[in-house]
Chains A and B, each alone.
Chain A
Amino acid sequence: MIRDITLGQYYPGGSWIHKLDPRVKIMATILYVIALFIVKDFIGFAIAVAGLAAVILISRVPFSFIVRGLKPVFLIIAFTFIINMFMIKGEVLVSFWVLTITKEGLRKAVFMAVRLVLLIIGSSLLTLTTKPISLTDGIESLLSPFKRFGLPAHELAMMMTIALRFIPTLLEETDKIMKAQQARGADFESGNIVRRAKALIPILVPLFISAFRIAQELAMAMEARCYGGNQKRTRMNGMKLKMRDLGASILFVVFLALIVLQRIFF
């Protein structure tokens, strides 16, 4: 049941998008997010949607799988939509009781909802098509110019790698502990809030103990293999930009240019 969360999950595949250099994908995602804020009308969004649709098609990640990741943020989208719809003054379309829907309000509401959905799908495509490990490698590489100002790029990336690596492990651990306590008759699903909160103790105590145990074992294993932070480390699989990365970058620049030109001239 915990495993149903797909936000930030990797969808295994061998598509062209999966194979792109993580640095290219990270930069493209950041720029795409910025581009969504440059857009000011629906024609611009049409271009953004077309670009995103093309990427989804090429990546071969099923659309239903992407939508499942949207569920947790659906409430936020609905909330923004409703607030915008009722709060903006302008030409009145419908009016009942104290609530009025204006033409501008409706337009704005749809506009914001589309932007939010595109933001979320756009950024989740990055994690869906990039293995967590290459993602952190990419971040480390992109942050490394800032090392000379004292930014611990390698340490940050290592912390992220470890945190990501242990999400499934801890989920599995939680699942195991929950089952073990259920086998002893624990009930997590009924009762009021206080009762349910109390029911969490038999899960949380063993989970914390496990987390500390795992962390300690990992630290020992790393020390046993002489891990020593960022002292002139080399990589086994160094990242190299390939022709397809160049091609993808050119296509993406064309896409950005379209968005900017559309904003200026229409």
Chain B
Amino acid sequence: MSIEVRNLTHIYNEGLPHESTALEDVSFRAEDGELVGIIGHTGSGKSTLVQHLNGLLKPKSGQIIVGDVDITAEGVVMREIRKRIGLVFQYPEYQLFEETVAKDVAFGPANLELSQEEIDLRVREAIELVGLDYDKVKNLSPFDLSGGQKRRAAIAGVIAMKPEVLILDEPTAGLNPKAHADILNMIQTIHRRENNIIFLVSHNMNDIARMSDRILVMNHGKLAMQGTPEAVFSRDRELKEMGLALPDSMEIVSRLRAGGMEIDGTCMTIRAAAEEIAKVLRA
């Protein structure tokens, strides 16, 4: 499966005095098994973009082709799209509503009109996949869980729909460091297991650099860059002009280089940077 976006343009409040162009001529493509990071300053159009991928917003012009279906065409069955593309919003715990965790996770699969056995199976699987203990939490009220657990339960609600494309909009916002690391590990586990396409929107450059196969950089509604983490983060001056930072590892290496150390450096993790520095020091 693949997802392809062609010349996507979206305008909010068209025709009103406060109209604004949120997306302008955005095109890209992602294939099975890819983890694509999306970065950009606040208001650069990231959230608008991911809502289009799920069919929640209709573009002014342009197409989104999932597999061989154009989801922007008239008369597309939205349920089919949502079966294939799962979207986890920012602060997804605010969407929990059922009496028990198991019922809440079952909401999505039940909307897909699956059989009861299939629903139960998927609920159990999804809750375990996000790292919660199914037998412990299934009968708890979702509002009795801790912050990090609520977030996991909410993500399980989307994963239980088994989407071929999973989009996560800042899944770690507002979490403590431990829950942050746990959520990212969970995303990698899901990715490895399902071999699906994952879009990860984040402000944390370290996470993006470490996890992404490819990065999309949004700026003022336009796709400013796309490429591997190495390619994108080596254009540090342009990134800084857009108000974006480098991952810590690249920042260290580039400052050492500015200070005169002859270091070759596209290090996406702190470990890689440390090894590179050690190599230079030994020589």
Residues of chain A at the chain B interface (Cβ within 8 Å): 12, 176-177, 179-187, 201-202, 205-206, 209-210
The complex places the Cα of A101 from the Cα of B4 at a distance, in Å, of 63
Asked whether A184 lies within 8 Å of B108 as measured between CB atoms, the reply is yes
Contact residues in B for A187 (Cβ distance below 8 Å): 79, 111
Select which of A176, A179, A185, A206 is within 8 A of B96 by beta carbon.
A206
Asked whether B97 lies within 8 Å of A202 as measured between CB atoms, the reply is yes
Asked whether B97 lies within 8 Å of A183 as measured between CB atoms, the reply is no
Q: Which residue of A lies closest to B112 (CB)?
A: A185
> How far is the CB of A43 from the nearest CB of chain B, in Å?
37
28 contacts between A and B (CB under 8 A): A12-B17, A12-B18, A176-B89, A177-B94, A179-B51, A179-B56, A180-B95, A182-B56, A183-B82, A183-B87, A183-B88, A183-B89, A183-B158, A184-B82, A184-B95, A184-B108, A184-B158, A185-B82, A185-B112, A202-B95, A202-B107, A205-B97, A206-B94, A206-B95, A206-B96, A206-B97, A209-B143, A210-B94
The complex places the Cα of A187 from the Cα of B80 at a distance, in Å, of 13
- B45 within 8 Å of A (CB atoms): no
> How far is the CB of A196 from the nearest CB of chain B, in Å?
14
Asked whether A179 lies within 8 Å of B89 as measured between CB atoms, the reply is yes
The complex places the Cα of A126 from the Cα of B95 at a distance, in Å, of 37
17 new A-B contacts at CB < 8 Å, known A184-B158, A205-B97: A12-B18, A177-B94, A180-B92, A182-B82, A183-B87, A183-B88, A183-B89, A184-B95, A184-B108, A184-B111, A185-B107, A185-B108, A185-B112, A186-B107, A202-B95, A206-B95, A206-B96
| Residues of B111-128 whose CB lies within 8 A of A | 111-112
Given A180-B95, A206-B96, do A185 and B89 touch, yes or no (CB 8 Å)?
no
Contact residues in B for A201 (Cβ distance below 8 Å): 97
Given A12-B17, A176-B89, do A183 and B94 touch, yes or no (CB 8 Å)?
no
